[in-house]
Each structure stands twice: as structure tokens, then as C-alpha cells.
Amino acid sequence: MSSLPQILFLLVLGGAGYLLYRRVSYLRQTMMLGKPASRTDNPKERWKSMALVAFGQKKMFKRLGPALLHLVIYISFVVINLEVLEFMIDGLAGTHRIFAPVLAGFYTTAMNIFEILALGVLVSCLFFLVRRNITKVPRLSSAELKGWPKLDANLILWIEILLMLAILTMNATDQLLAYRGVEKYIPLGGLWISGSLQWLFDGMSNASLLFWERFAWWFHIIGILGFAVYVTYSKHLHIFLAFPNTWYANLEPKGKMPNMDVVTREVQLMLGLQTAPSANETAPAEVGRFGAKDINDLSWVNLMNAFSCTECGRCTAECPANITGKKLSPRKIMMDTRDRAEEVSQNIKAGKKGLDDGKSLLGNYISQEEINACTSCNACVEACPINIDPLSIILEMRRYTAMEESGSPAQWNAMFQNVETSFAPWKFAPSDRFNWASEINKEAK
């Protein structure tokens, strides 16, 4: 390589690094619009969860076929990117296949493994394209996936196909040049997959082969760097966020609803279970709002969940409300939360009003009908392959509706009142609660 390609490589690498840094900083700032949340308890269990769910893809295997194909792409993403290290060194140092002389025969073995994985990615991506666009699996063709979400999913699959074809094209032309004795090109002793493609280029001149080899090399490295930037704008951000998302997931038993400390303290004071803070003690901070109306009322973990969403629809497919025709879709809840967070963050970035734009998450993005349809069964939480928790967002919005706006359905409000006055959902005195047992005892006698 001459110095010009090295300079171009540095410019491409530096540009991608700069764009990636800016986007990651922006995403972090957007997630931090949420309230603080402490999720550092039980680190041993958290590391275990991340290892099994994010690294091991444990929850993906509830559907074996797609899981195996996804695993092929996942392993290939990790393993083939080891070759990108060689690309980087070659690009910076002006060398060509710098590891080949060092690794000798093992280098050819490694290249064959990479190529087999590349072929596996090609097959898997074609299968997923068919599922999305021809057979149209119901959870992959819902209303919330129209427009950009559908295009985004297809774009990623085509990008991965093109990147794998670039690797095979590069290797095929590279080896033809090596067999012809062109300087710097090293014979590797037989590559199975790309070797079977060499007939496509066999009649070309050395100049044409050099063009296609260099074109494929540059296409792959620019594609990898561009892909790294693009995924930060895509649902495929879960490639990176799945790991922190599983680490910070809620470890409490499913079905346990968190109480508000301020409300709990007030109830305990009324029941005499807690004394008021003395003059020397600091009273707990008062809450500004009960529940959540907008993204700043949610925690930063909720917002990270939203940006981690893979849009796979497993949550919606398992949701009993959605299955019975209700409007609720847990996937849409996460997508709406992410879209609203992006909107607010963009407003702040542009120097506008931010949250004070006349909109809110509840009302403008998510309707009362949606949150009221939720049965709180946790099926969506259980189904998510990376431990996203749509239910916590739904419950917070319900809490706001009930406590701030008294906007719950009339039947719910009647039940709430009965619980408050009679300590039961039914409207009768607590002293009469066991009358049914007395009647049974009388009959027994």
C-alpha cells in the first residue's frame, strides 16, 4: 500500500469514531432524562443473568428454529470481527494479511472457519428476509412495524448479506492474484467457499482482479464501520445494549409491584406503624408526581429498556390482551417510549422547550385504552429475550392516571374506594367478612 490509502483509512476510521462517539453520548444523555434508579444489588446474580441471557441467548431458544439461525449470526458477528482486527492493522500499517506468515497453516484454517460462518450468515439472513416479507409471520407484520421499522429490519439483513459477499469476493480475487504470483498476495492453500467462486473472476486481467479485491476490502471495512454507526440509530442497537440491559434488569420476583416510598410512609404514619421524623431527622423528599405521564417520570432503566428493544414482537405475541383483540401491544409501548425520548432529546438539543412542547408520552403516544387493557400478568416480561420490562412502564402510567387524574374506569374507582374503606374489593364491612363461614358452620351442625 502507498501512503495515500493509509491516509484515507485513517480519515475513514477517525470519521466513524467521531460519529460513533457523538451518537453514544447523545443516547446516554437521552436515557439520563429518566429518574435515578439503583440497580447494583446482588452483582453475582446480575453477572449470571447477563451471561445466560445476553451472551448465552437462553430465552431465544423458546423458538428453536429462529434461535439457531440467530445464533449463527451472533457467533459469526463475534468470530468474523476477529478478522476485522487484521483489516485495521493492514489499513494502518499498509500491510496485506499481516497474520498469515505468523499463523502459517492455522491461518488458512481460520479463514475457512470465517467463510463457513459467512455462508451461515447469508443463509440465515435470506431465511429472515423470507419470514418478514413473503411468509409474513404475524408478529413481524403488525401495524406498529409499518414504515421505518420494517425498512430498518430489512436494511440490516441486506447489509449483512452484502458484507458477507464482500468477504467471499475479496478472498476469491485475493487467491487468484496469489496464484498468478502478484506481489504481496499470499497463497493460502485452498479456501473452500471462496475457492468455489473463483470461476466468476478467472477470466479477468490482473488489473481487474486488483480492482475487485481492493473494492471488496474497502467495501467491507467501510461497511463494518458504517454498520457500527448505523446500529445506534436502529433497533439493532440491542447488539450492544443487550448486555447492560440484562445486567440492570429487575431481580425482584415477577408480579411484585414496587410501592412508592412517600405513600407507604404516609399510610404507616396514619396506622401508627411509623413515627414522624424528629426535628434532627431529615424528612424524606416529597414526590413531584405520582406515577408517570412523560419520560422524565420514568427511570433511566425504563428508557434504556426502550432503546434496547429488538422489536421482535415476542412480548406482543404472548400478551393475552393483544391475543384477544385488545389495542395493547407491549412492543408498541417500548417503541413509543423510545420515540418520545428521542423527540424530547432532539427538542433540548435544538434549544426548544424539551418536555414543555404540549405533548406527553401518556395521551399523545400511548392511550388510556392501551394501558387499561393490561392484565399485569408479566407474560411480556417473561417472553423478552433480553429482559425488557414493558409492564413497569404501564403500571407507572396507570398509577399516574389513578392518583393524579382520577381517570381510571368507574368500576376500578369503585374497587379502589372499597379497598380503602373496607380493606377488600367488595362493599361490605370488614366485620362481616367471615359471615359466609358462619353460615357454613350452621349448615354443618
DSSP string, 271-291: TTSSPPP-TTSPPPPPPS-SS
Is the Cβ–Cβ distance between 12 and 222 less than 8 Å? yes
Interval 152-179 mean pLDDT: 93
Amino acid at 252: E
Give the ranges where 32-147 is alpha helix by DSSP (H).
43-49, 64-93, 100-103, 105-133
State how far Cα 79 lies from the chain centre.
Answer: 21
SS (H, E, C) 322-353: HHCCCCCCHHHHHHHHHHHHHHHHHHHHCCCC
Interval 143-166 mean pLDDT: 92
**Which comes out higher in pLDDT, residue 79 or 231?**
231
41 CB contacts (<8 Å, ≥6 apart)? 251
**Which comes out higher in pLDDT, residue 378 or 272?**
378
DSSP 3-state of 41? coil
What is the rounded CA–CA span in Å between residue 390 and residue 110? Answer: 42
Is the Cβ–Cβ distance between 33 and 241 less than 8 Å? no
Is the Cβ–Cβ distance between 273 and 264 less than 8 Å? no
For residue 408, pLDDT beyond 90 = no
What is the rounded CA–CA span in Å between residue 305 and residue 344? Answer: 17
Is the Cβ–Cβ distance between 240 and 304 less than 8 Å? no
238 CB contacts (<8 Å, ≥6 apart)? 245, 308, 309, 310, 386
Predicted structure pTM score: 0.86
Q: How high is the pLDDT of residue 1?
A: 43
Q: How high is the pLDDT of residue 404?
A: 85
Neighbour tally for 81: CB within 10 Å:
12
Interval 171-175 mean pLDDT: 93
- Please name every residue paired with 111 in a beta bridge, in sequence order, or none if there are none: none
pLDDT digit string, tens, across residues 331-387: 999 999 999 999 999 988 888 777 888 899 999 999 999 999 999 999 999 999 999
Say what the alpha-carbon torsion angle 275, 280, 285, 286 is, to the nearest 10 degrees. Answer: 60
Is the Cβ–Cβ distance between 78 and 71 less than 8 Å? no
- Return the top range by mean pLDDT from 138-142, 248-252, 414-418, 441-445: 248-252
State how far Cα 192 lies from the chain centre.
Answer: 35
Is the Cβ–Cβ distance between 160 and 73 less than 8 Å? yes
For residue 23, pLDDT beyond 90 = yes
